[in-house]
């Protein structure tokens, strides 16, 4: 097997390929231009998208040239969902999301040198395409019978699927054909749930131009129980720091399951095979130290956000448990911590509430009487300072950043509240 494909297989990037031997031969023969698409159906890309960006980085590191497509036109349609018809977003909103996602994806590849990346927008070749030309030049190459065989289409047939979503496959295939013609792109990558779209593009290139192209699908990442990766109780793990804070992002990977941390390291970390296998061994022998999780969380936060944001996240985590100075944390970090701990708010009152009331509101104790018992037993803390009086009230000087309070019971049970100032 081609050395690069062997590495990609070891890292967990290979689920399906149109022809691994032929792809390996193409990769051996010289630079391969590959593309992956991102539809702006939300204002940010998420962890599932990052798998594809890591694959693009890996290909580029071996001398191949990545094309990142932001779907200004396909984003107006949306790939069919298993459950129901998508809500079509306004054109101006999709245009705004295109620019946000374009800015995000450019962080992950290099735009200089002989293997420089290129970002494209499929709206450029579809905006002026007439319906007649689309049907004559593209639609004639597609069999409705084959389109009906797609799993997502089968799942939707009983409830109904619009012609708009049904024809999404044709638009994505057109993208591959256009990139093949304009730039010589011969490889498309994507998640295994996109396999039907990927292979349709390969087939369109063969039928329309007699060309040879390749498709490579990555596995869909899941948790150990088989549920979808990248989801938390509050929703998707986004790459936009305003939607998922660097602190919450770092914590998500710090809490990765022992059974899956090796899988995530292979995909999201750029450490060597030897380093990753050593971390996996360490995780099996001493799982309580969570060395693999720490390496994973640090590496991926550095990449997606920055080393400075990662340090702020680790400083915040340390300060929460009494190993750092809470007052040194920026208000934005304190706000992220508060959201992560439950986004509890209390109104600003005169006098300010008792610490016992704050502890109960933050959920670190089940009741105010339990909070008082924690104080009496020496296990209650406000902003890492031990609380000695069950009737102690909060002062304005206690408000971190003018609005936040961190309370703790014992060593590990931490909560936070935000004091809302009245308008």
- Rounded-to-integer distance, Cα 1 and Cα 17, Å: 13
| Range of the structural domain that residue 286 is part of | 221-305
What integer pLDDT is reported at residue 260 of this predicted model?
94
Q: What is the pLDDT of residues 410-419, one digit of tens each?
A: 988 999 999 9
Under the banding of pLDDT at 50, 70 and 90, the label for residue 147 is confident
What integer pLDDT is reported at residue 229 of this predicted model?
73
The per-residue b/e assignment along 261-284, b for 16 or more CB within 10 angstroms, e otherwise, is: bbbbbbbbbbeeeeebeebbeebe
What integer pLDDT is reported at residue 342 of this predicted model?
87
Please name the residues in contact with 65: beta carbons below 8 A apart, sequence gap of 6 or more: 31, 32, 33, 34, 114, 115, 116, 117, 118
- Rounded-to-integer distance, Cα 364 and Cα 415, Å: 6
Looking at every residue in the chain, the average pLDDT score rounds to 92
Is the pLDDT at 128 greater than 60? The verdict is yes
- Rounded-to-integer distance, Cα 226 and Cα 243, Å: 25
Residue 316 domain flag? no
What CATH number does the domain containing 300 carry?
Answer: 1.10.240.10
Is the pLDDT at 236 greater than 90? The verdict is no
Residue 26 domain flag? yes
Residue 318 domain flag? no
Is the pLDDT at 231 greater than 80? The verdict is no
Same domain, 254 and 368: no
Same domain, 30 and 133: yes
Helix (H) or strand (E) holding 97: helix 91-105
Output the CA–CA distances (angstroms, integers) from residue 155 to 84, 158, 219, in the order listed: 10, 7, 20
What integer pLDDT is reported at residue 143 of this predicted model?
81
Average pLDDT over residues 377-395: 93
DSSP line for 101-168? HHHHHGGGS--SSTT--EEEETHHHHTT--HHHHHHHTGGG--HHHHHTSHHHHHHHTT---HHHHTH
What integer pLDDT is reported at residue 422 of this predicted model?
66
Same domain, 29 and 145: yes
Same domain, 290 and 196: no
Q: What is the pLDDT of residues 156-168, one digit of tens each?
A: 777 777 788 888 8
Q: Which of 242, 270, 305 is the last residue of a domain?
A: 305
Under the banding of pLDDT at 50, 70 and 90, the label for residue 233 is low
Q: Which of 275, 305, 335 is the last residue of a domain?
A: 305
Under the banding of pLDDT at 50, 70 and 90, the label for residue 399 is very high
Average pLDDT over residues 347-357: 89
Residue 264 domain flag? yes
Percent of the chain with pLDDT over 90: 76
Same domain, 25 and 67: yes
Please name the residues in contact with 1: beta carbons below 8 A apart, sequence gap of 6 or more: 9, 20, 24
Average pLDDT over residues 397-423: 90
| The residue to which tokens 């804070």 are assigned | 245
Under the banding of pLDDT at 50, 70 and 90, the label for residue 79 is confident
Q: Which of 197, 218, 239 is the last residue of a domain?
A: 218
Same domain, 271 and 144: no
Residue 373 domain flag? yes
The rounded radius of gyration (Å) of the Cα atoms in the chain is: 26
Of the ranges 111-115, 136-140, 185-189, which one carries the lowest mean pLDDT score? 136-140
Under the banding of pLDDT at 50, 70 and 90, the label for residue 234 is low
Same domain, 248 and 349: no
Is the pLDDT at 296 greater than 70? The verdict is yes
What CATH number does the domain containing 328 carry?
Answer: 3.10.290.10
Output the CA–CA distances (angstroms, integers) from residue 23 to 1, 11, 31, 132, in the order listed: 10, 17, 12, 35
Per the structure, the count of domains in the chain is 3
Is the pLDDT at 284 greater than 80? The verdict is yes
What CATH number does the domain containing 175 carry?
Answer: 3.40.50.620
User: 66 forms bridges with which residues in the sheet?
Assistant: 34
Average pLDDT over residues 346-352: 87
What integer pLDDT is reported at residue 360 of this predicted model?
94
Residue 154 vs residue 286, higher pLDDT: 286
DSSP letter at 39?
-
Same domain, 156 and 30: yes
Q: Two tokens at 228?
A: 């979808």
Same domain, 130 and 260: no
What integer pLDDT is reported at residue 232 of this predicted model?
63
What integer pLDDT is reported at residue 404 of this predicted model?
94
Residue 314 domain flag? no
Residue 310 domain flag? no
Residue 315 domain flag? no
Same domain, 228 and 368: no
Same domain, 168 and 236: no
In sequence order, what E strands does 208-250 have?
A: 214-218, 231-232, 235-236
Same domain, 266 and 211: no
């Amino acid at each position: 097997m081609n050395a690069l494909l062997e590495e990609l297989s070891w890292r967990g990037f290979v689920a399906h390929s149109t022809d691994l031997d032929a792809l390996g031969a193409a990769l051996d023969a010289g630079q391969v231009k590959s593309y992956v698409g991102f539809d702006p159906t939300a204002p940010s890309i998420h962890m599932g998208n990052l798998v594809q960006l890591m694959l693009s980085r890996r290909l580029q590191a071996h001398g191949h040239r990545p094309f990142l497509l932001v779907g200004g036109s396909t984003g107006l349609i949306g790939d069919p969902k298993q459950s129901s018809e998508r809500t079509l977003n306004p054109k101006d909103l999709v245009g705004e999301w295109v620019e946000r996602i374009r800015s995000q994806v450019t962080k992950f590849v290099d735009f200089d040198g002989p293997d420089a990346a290129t970002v494209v927008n499929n709206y450029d070749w579809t905006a002026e395409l007439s319906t007649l030309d689309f049907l004559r030049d593209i639609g004639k190459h597609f069999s409705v019978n084959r389109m009906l065989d797609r799993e997502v289409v089968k799942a939707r047939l009983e409830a109904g699927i619009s012609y708009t979503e049904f024809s999404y496959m044709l638009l994505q295939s057109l993208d591959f054909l256009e990139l093949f013609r304009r730039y010589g792109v011969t490889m498309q990558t994507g998640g295994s749930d996109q396999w039907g779209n990927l292979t349709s593009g390969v087939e369109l290139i063969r039928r329309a131009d007699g060309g040879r192209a390749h498709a490579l699908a990555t596995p869909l990442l899941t948790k150990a129980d088989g549920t979808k990766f990248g989801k938390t109780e509050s929703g998707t793990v986004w790459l936009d720091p305003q939607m998922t804070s660097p602190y919450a992002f770092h914590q998500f990977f710090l809490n990765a399951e022992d059974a899956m941390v090796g899988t995530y390291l292979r995909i999201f970390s750029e450490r060597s095979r030897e380093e990753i296998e050593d971390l996996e061994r360490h995780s099996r022998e001493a799982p309580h130290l969570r060395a693999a999780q720490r390496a994973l969380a640090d590496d991926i936060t550095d990449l997606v956000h920055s080393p400075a944001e990662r340090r702020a996240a680790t400083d915040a985590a340390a300060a929460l448990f009494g190993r750092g100075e809470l007052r040194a944390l920026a208000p934005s970090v304190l706000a992220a911590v508060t959201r992560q701990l439950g986004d509890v708010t209390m109104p600003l009152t005169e006098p300010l509430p008792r610490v016992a009331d704050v502890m109960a509101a933050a959920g670190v104790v089940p009741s105010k009487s339990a909070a008082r018992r924690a104080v009496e037993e020496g296990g209650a803390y406000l902003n890492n300072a031990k609380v000695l009086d069950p009737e102690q009230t909060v002062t304005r000087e206690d408000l971190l950043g003018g609005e936040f309070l961190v309370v703790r019971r014992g060593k590990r049970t931490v909560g936070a509240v935000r004091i809302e100032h009245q308008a």
